[in-house]
Amino acid sequence: AQKITQTQPGMFVQEKEAVTLDCTYDTSDPSYGLFWYKQPSSGEMIFLIYQGSYDQQNATEGRYSLNFQKARKSANLVISASQLGDSAMYFCAMREGNSNSGYALNFGKGTSLLVTP
């Protein structure tokens, strides 16, 4: 069963506007971590932001913020003041595993974001 769901295959946003990329997850583990990665056309996965399941506050990193709604099992990414360089694929991921086996990530299918002038 898919553990990470990203329902938006593609999104458009105008430069300088804010955009929200949706992510829902499924887990029965009380301890988990949620990540967002950006993948430009070059292929490299770039870490953007992390939210722990026990974190009381929503994570923020510069123009990126994570809207964490634990009861709804959602972890949406908000990008404020979009820039042309934000055009890329965005992946939501959830940490699984433990300290002995290493933290493997389960990824969603991704959302393609296009920022227009």
Partner 1 sequence: ETGVTQTPRHLVMGMTNKKSLKCEQHLGHNAMYWYKQSAKKPLELMFVYNFKEQTENNSVPSRFSPECPNSSHLFLHLHTLQPEDSALYLCASSNRGREVEQYFGPGTRLTVT
Footprint (CB under 8 A) of partner 1, residues 73-112: 91, 93, 95, 97, 99-110
Place of tokens 């399941």: 53
d(CA 1, CA 80): 32
Q: Is-contact 26 93, C-beta < 8 A? A: no
Place of tokens 């634990």: 70
- Minimum CB distance to partner 1 smaller for 44 or for 117: 44
Nearest approach in angstroms of CB 117 to partner 1 is: 28
Footprint (CB under 8 A) of partner 1, residues 57-76: none
Footprint (CB under 8 A) of partner 1, residues 22-51: 33, 35, 37, 42-47, 50
